[in-house]
Structure 1
């Protein structure tokens, strides 16, 4: 969003959604405004006006991706009773393993990696923010009396490590049955440790 626009216009929202679909299909690594603008029925001038510059557009796309990423996590937070860490991680994995989420997860992996190797610019803070997002949601799924203990923090970090490692393996190999079996194995260990 350009600095002078607090609330996006309908056209800005429409172009962001079109650019997001483009990014899901083509990634962000070699994003060039001219081909993007042509593909979404706009111009580089309009994109520059609406998003400030290419970095502003990339930041807007990363925020848009986080909305999709967090959608499943927010559902877990809205339940009346904490579902437990292993159950929450199992539900997250089911979402991750679904074929229709691969484009989003590839985009997430690209942004996460770029944030680590290019800590300045539009990627700045993306990796750290997404770790915090996931850890906060996993914490909300743990029983409240134990949530703030060091042991609970270690358990949710372990659950996140399993999910993230499995996600990268799934993206690299597309071997969903093998990776899902490994995730279930690890989550059963986590579940037995919760009891």
Structure 2
């Protein structure tokens, strides 16, 4: 997935942050440069100059959203937290379930889905890249003996499937207590499987 320019100007960074706040509130699917530029105090011409095209701006916004996503995932592998897959999933779910993160998660779900149905253009590779991001973080939280085994790969894939499914359900229903109970139930099974060597 293409990334934004390596050395953006201060104005480009400022407008990207403003556009990102706009995207969190309004989404990206129907993004139109005129309303966006009016909302952030710019013009379509300036945005096209700084980001080369509308697709370039969308790519920069997706990279910005992914930076927030990876920052949250990095919290799961902090050295002062307990190690292991189950504690990592618990930390990630607590973050995902927090109401203040819903705008980012809605934007993530929109970009993920759009990447699946429109695999070319600015969305290309977003879904695959986020799967790799999440699996990488979960792998980093596993002890080396588990991380490098086929069973370890299966366990983190299952954990990711549970998190993604619960997240989509949460965005659709806002039923945090039901979903937290379901995630905790699955974590108990993961914990039992680990204790039993599988």
Task: Give the structure-1-normalised TM-score.
Answer: 0.95
Separation of aligned partners in 1, 2:67 and 2:79: 19
Say whether residues 1:16 and 2:16 are aligned partners: yes
Residue segments in structure 2 that go unaligned for 5+ positions in a row: none
Separation of aligned partners in 2, 1:6 and 1:142: 32
**1:34·1:43 contact (CA, 8 Å) conserved in 2?**
yes
Q: How far is 1:75 from its partner?
A: 2.2
Say whether residues 1:63 and 2:66 are aligned partners: no
Aligned to 2:121: 121
User: CA 1:39/1:71 → structure 2, altered by over 3 Å: closer, same or farther?
Assistant: same
**2:162·2:183 contact (CA, 8 Å) conserved in 1?**
yes
Say whether residues 1:132 and 2:137 are aligned partners: no
Deviation track 1:98-143 (CA, whole Å, cap 9, x = no partner) reads 0000000000000000000000000000000000000000000000
**1:59·1:122 contact (CA, 8 Å) conserved in 2?**
yes
Separation of aligned partners in 2, 1:40 and 1:80: 39
Aligned to 1:109: 109
Q: How far is 1:78 from its partner?
A: 3.5
Q: How far is 1:82 from its partner?
A: 6.3
Separation of aligned partners in 1, 2:184 and 2:77: 21
The RMSD of aligned alpha carbons is 1.6
Alignment of 1:67-78 (within 5 A): 67-78=67-78
Q: How far is 1:80 from its partner?
A: 6.3
Say whether residues 1:85 and 2:91 are aligned partners: no
Say whether residues 1:33 and 2:67 are aligned partners: no
Q: How far is 1:148 from its partner?
A: 1.1
Q: How far is 1:193 from its partner?
A: 1.1
How many residue pairs end up in the alignment? Answer: 193
Runs of 4+ in 1 over 2 A off after TM superposition: 75-78
Separation of aligned partners in 2, 1:158 and 1:82: 20
Alignment of 1:163-182 (within 5 A): 163-182=163-182
Residue segments in structure 1 that go unaligned for 5+ positions in a row: none
**1:82·1:143 contact (CA, 8 Å) conserved in 2?**
no
Task: Give the structure-2-normalised TM-score.
Answer: 0.94
Q: Which moved more, 1:82-91 or 1:59-68?
A: 82-91
Q: How far is 1:192 from its partner?
A: 1.3
Aligned to 1:152: 152
